[in-house]
């Protein structure tokens, strides 16, 4: 009865762990939850106020399927300010979250059996979204020891006549990677030489700990589809606002797809796009970003003291991806990363996400979107477990 397309979608790989976590919570156990994927901050008050005002002032109806013109204009201003590229509202499609933007962009670009180069470790949804579009994800492995550096040589080793495009994600989930300007330029050049499209998922763009990021969109806006949204940088995960900015023909295709698929993103949420983006330097946001930087430093310092684990210092987002493979197997602390995550939860009440879901079997993802006191306790527990 269920279609082939949906039957083959992998269920979430973190289900078992989540079930255990819920069970322990229900039994009244306090969990140090380092598995979270969203800021622990509430949406800033100035944005919530904008939503209340909008609700009372007519932002309650359908908008254009691709998004309200004022919201799209705000995204154009934001892209010009941050990527130094002038774009028109006709190049912007606002969706219900970056995930929908990604899905629709892939559906608009991928033909059956097209291969999509996907640097690993990757965010969990990419392989399934590529498969849903009837494409084939081709992973390109990067390593913590090399700071997850991605080079044209690594991409070239996986290139075939069926290769259609590349997905980049910076700052990255799960590694926090932010590449140098030179590395991004080399990847864009590789895409140009091989006539590949590039999807650049920049949903963590506001959470930068060591300086600016380098968007491939700035280098070749005709080839690159820029994906972002309000979820992470503005602590607005529940508001469901994401967008694709790309060349007009592709934006038109995505807009048509969305007009049949779901129509416009929530109008009240769209009313917050301009207030949020235009006040990118609001003190509430700056405070949140600097707290994340302090937490990153705390985590790096704590984990550096454990031998036999490797990670690259995350330049952005709120995750640290730790390679624990030397500590697994015979004589190690656990059989594999899934087992390690389960034992950390059962024995130390610390929840982390095992690496297989990100295409990196010997690793675990730790989120630092939790208060400092909780992170300190978690570090102590992890040190005790792995020490
Ligand atoms: C890399 C990456 N892209 C996209 C998303 C989805 O964002 P949204 O909540 O706006 O759909 C996430 C959320 O975890 C993410 O980590």
Given this model, what pLDDT does residue 51 score? 98
Buried b (16+ CB within 10 A) or exposed e, 25-58: eeeeeebbbbbebebbeebbeebeebbeebeeee
Given this model, what pLDDT does residue 12 score? 65
Given this model, what pLDDT does residue 21 score? 87
Residues 247 and 139 occupy one common structural domain: yes
Cα-to-centroid distance, 284 and ligand 1 (Å): 22
Is the minimum distance from the CB of 99 to ligand 1 under 6 angstroms?
yes
In degrees and rounded to multiples of 5, residue 228 shows phi and psi of -160, -165
The mean pLDDT of the chain is 96
pTM of the model: 0.97
Pick the last residue of a domain from 278, 296, 322.
278
Check: CB of residue 342 under 8 Å from CB of residue 19: no
Judged against a pLDDT cut of 70, whether residue 314 lies above it is answered with yes
Ligand 1 atom nearest residue 169's Cα: 1
Cα-to-centroid distance, 339 and ligand 1 (Å): 26
Which of 95, 99, 225, 319 to mutate to test ligand 1, by most ligand atoms within 8 A of the CB atom? 99
Residues 157 and 295 occupy one common structural domain: no
Q: For the chain, how far is it from start to end, CA to CA, in angstroms? A: 51
Above pLDDT 70, what percent of the chain? 99
pLDDT digits (tens, 9 = 90+) for 70-124: 999 999 999 999 999 999 999 999 999 999 999 999 999 999 999 999 999 999 9
pLDDT digits (tens, 9 = 90+) for 238-278: 999 999 999 999 999 999 999 999 999 999 999 999 999 99
For residue 306, the tally of other CB atoms under 10 A from its CB is 17
Given this model, what pLDDT does residue 124 score? 94
The per-residue DSSP string of 251-278 comes to HHHHHHHHHHHT-S--HHHHTTHHHHHH
Domain containing residue 375: CATH number: 3.90.1150.10
Which of 102, 123, 273 to mutate to test ligand 1, by most ligand atoms within 8 A of the CB atom? 123
Residue 22 within a domain:
yes
Is the minimum distance from the CB of 173 to ligand 1 under 6 angstroms?
yes
What's the average model confidence in pLDDT over 161-187?
Answer: 98
Judged against a pLDDT cut of 70, whether residue 352 lies above it is answered with yes
Which residue CA neighbors atom 14 of ligand 1 most closely?
A: 37
Count Cα atoms within 13 angstroms, Cβ side, for 153: 2
Print the domain residue range for 25.
4-42+283-386
Is the minimum distance from the CB of 231 to ligand 1 under 6 angstroms?
yes
In degrees and rounded to multiples of 5, residue 84 shows phi and psi of 60, 35
Grade residue 9 by pLDDT with cuts at 50, 70 and 90. Answer: confident
How open is the CA angle 7-228-10, to the nearest 5 degrees?
Answer: 15
Judged against a pLDDT cut of 90, whether residue 16 lies above it is answered with no
């Amino acid at each position: 009865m269920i279609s082939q397309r949906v039957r083959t979608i992998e269920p979430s790989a973190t289900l078992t762990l989540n079930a255990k976590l819920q069970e322990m919570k229900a039994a009244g156990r306090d969990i140090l939850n380092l598995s979270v994927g969203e800021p622990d901050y509430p949406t800033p008050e100035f944005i919530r106020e904008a939503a209340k005002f909008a609700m009372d002032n007519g932002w309650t109806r359908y908008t254009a399927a691709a998004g309200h013109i004022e919201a799209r204009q705000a995204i154009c201003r934001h892209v010009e300010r941050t990527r130094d590229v002038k774009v028109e509202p006709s190049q912007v499609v606002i969706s219900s979250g970056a995930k929908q933007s990604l899905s629709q962009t892939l559906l608009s670009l991928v033909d059956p059996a097209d291969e999509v180069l996907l640097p690993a470790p990757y965010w969990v949804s990419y392989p399934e979204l590529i498969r849903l579009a009837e494409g084939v994800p081709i992973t390109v492995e990067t390593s913590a020891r090399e700071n997850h550096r991605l080079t044209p040589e690594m991409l070239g080793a996986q290139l075939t006549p069926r290769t259609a495009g590349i997905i980049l994600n910076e700052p990255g989930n799960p590694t926090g990677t932010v590449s140098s300007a030179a590395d991004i330029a080399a990847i864009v050049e590789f895409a140009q030489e091989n006539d590949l499209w590039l999807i650049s998922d920049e949903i963590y763009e506001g959470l930068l700990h060591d300086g600016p990021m380098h968007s491939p969109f700035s280098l070749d806006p005709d080839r690159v589809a820029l994906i972002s949204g309000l979820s992470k940088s503005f602590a607005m995960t529940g508001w469901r606002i994401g967008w694709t900015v790309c060349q007009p023909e592709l934006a038109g295709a995505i807009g048509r797809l969305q007009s049949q698929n779901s129509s416009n993103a929530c109008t009240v949420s769209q009313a917050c796009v301009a207030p949020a983006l235009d006040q990118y330097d609001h003190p509430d946001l700056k405070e949140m970003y600097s707290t994340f930087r302090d937490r990153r430093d705390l985590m790096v310092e704590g984990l550096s003291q454990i031998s036999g684990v490797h990670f690259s210092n995350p330049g952005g987002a709120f995750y640290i991806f730790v390679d624990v493979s030397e500590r697994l197997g015979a004589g190690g602390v656990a059989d594999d990363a899934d087992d390690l995550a389960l034992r950390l939860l059962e024995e130390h009440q610390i929840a982390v996400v095992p690496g297989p879901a990100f295409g990196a079997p010997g690793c675990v993802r730790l989120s630092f979107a939790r208060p400092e006191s909780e992170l300190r306790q978690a570090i102590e527990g992890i040190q005790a477990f792995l020490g």
